[in-house]
């Protein structure tokens, strides 16, 4: 059963170790077709998290701003969303639609993601589903505007988190990774997948 926190639904250990390993294999094939890159922020600093995407749209950022684009920076189509990943969305999202973007974030042991809102999608009534693999990540949840009290929660390998309703526009980020906390990726690092309906 999910744990409710600030309108988020947290499913600790939703994926078994075998399912995590199978998903990681799917992601290796995905990254071979659509290599990870470090998007430039609009203020000119590269993001510390490396990224790629699958689905009709991929998330992208450069000096011109944040947006979704229909091709990988190399010019090729984004690969399809792996069936193993789509199955999770269908099981937990409650949405009648399938996602059209799976953003893949890779955190090296010193990477983090500052507090931000996800506002580049057209319909905020559609949920976002997140899947964590690899090292533990310290996730921080804020409010609908900057500032105020925040709450923290460790996201561990195999965890699924669903952001719907009032949680969809809360500020959130990853403060740090705990290196060496997961046997899934012996060389370390954390992967987070976020599934979204973009259009
Ligand atoms: C709350 N990713 O890609 S996942 C992101 O672990 C992002 O890589 C983090 O924030 C990560 O935008 C956090 C949890 C998450 C994802 C999307 C959300 C929380 C969210 C969208 C709205 C509200
Ligand atoms: Fe986000």
Atom of ligand 1 nearest to the CA of 192: 8
Our count of domains for the chain comes to: 1
Residue nearest to atom 11 of ligand 1 (CA): 192
* Tens-digit pLDDT string for the chain (199 aa): 899 999 999 999 999 999 999 999 999 999 999 999 999 999 999 999 999 999 999 999 999 999 999 999 999 999 999 999 999 999 999 999 999 999 999 999 999 999 999 999 999 999 999 999 999 999 999 999 999 999 999 999 999 999 999 999 999 999 999 999 999 998 999 999 999 999 9
Q: What is the CATH number of the domain that holds 103?
A: 2.60.120.590
Ligand 2 centre to CA of 6 (Å) is 15
What whole-number distance in Å separates Cα of residue 113 and Cα of residue 49? 7
Question: Quick one: pLDDT at residue 144?
Answer: 97
Structure tokens at 62: 């450069």
Q: Which ligand is nearest to the CA of 163?
A: 1
Q: Which residues, judged by CB distance below 6 Å to any ligand atom, belong to the binding site of ligand 1?
A: 103, 105, 113, 118, 128, 130, 137, 161, 163, 167-168, 170, 172, 174, 192, 194
Q: Print the domain residue range for 171.
A: 3-196
Question: Quick one: pLDDT at residue 94?
Answer: 96
Residue nearest to atom 6 of ligand 1 (CA): 192
As beta bridge partners, residue 106 has 50, 191
**Do residues 87 and 119 touch, judged by C-beta distance below 8 A?**
no
Angle at 144 between CA 138 and CA 150, to 5 degrees: 35
Question: Quick one: pLDDT at residue 137?
Answer: 98
Structure tokens at 144: 């609908």
Question: Quick one: pLDDT at residue 1?
Answer: 84
Q: How many residues are there in the chain?
A: 199
Nearest to 129 by CA among 104, 161, 97, 96: 161
**Do residues 113 and 153 touch, judged by C-beta distance below 8 A?**
no
Question: Quick one: pLDDT at residue 100?
Answer: 98
Whole-model pTM above 0.90?
Answer: yes
């Amino acid at each position: 059963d999910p744990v409710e926190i600030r309108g988020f639904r947290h499913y600790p250990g939703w994926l078994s170790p075998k399912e995590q390993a199978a998903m990681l294999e799917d992601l290796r094939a995905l990254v071979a077709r659509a290599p990870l890159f470090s998007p430039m922020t609009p203020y000119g600093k590269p993001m510390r998290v490396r990224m790629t995407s699958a689905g009709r749209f991929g998330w992208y950022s450069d000096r011109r701003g944040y947006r979704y684009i229909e091709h990988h920076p190399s010019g090729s189509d984004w690969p399809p969303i792996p069936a193993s990943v789509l199955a999770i969305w269908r099981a937990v999202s409650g949405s009648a639609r399938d996602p059209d973007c799976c953003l893949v974030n890779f955190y090296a042991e010193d990477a983090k993601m500052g507090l931000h809102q996800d506002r580049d999608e057209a319909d905020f009534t559609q949920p976002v589903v997140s899947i964590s693999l690899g090292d533990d990540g310290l996730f921080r949840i804020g409010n609908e505007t900057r500032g105020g009290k925040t709450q923290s929660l460790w996201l561990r390998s195999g965890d699924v988190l669903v952001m719907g309703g009032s949680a969809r526009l809360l500020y959130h980020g990853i403060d740090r990774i705990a290196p060496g906390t997961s046997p899934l990726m012996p060389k370390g690092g954390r992967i987070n997948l976020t599934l979204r309906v973009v259009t």
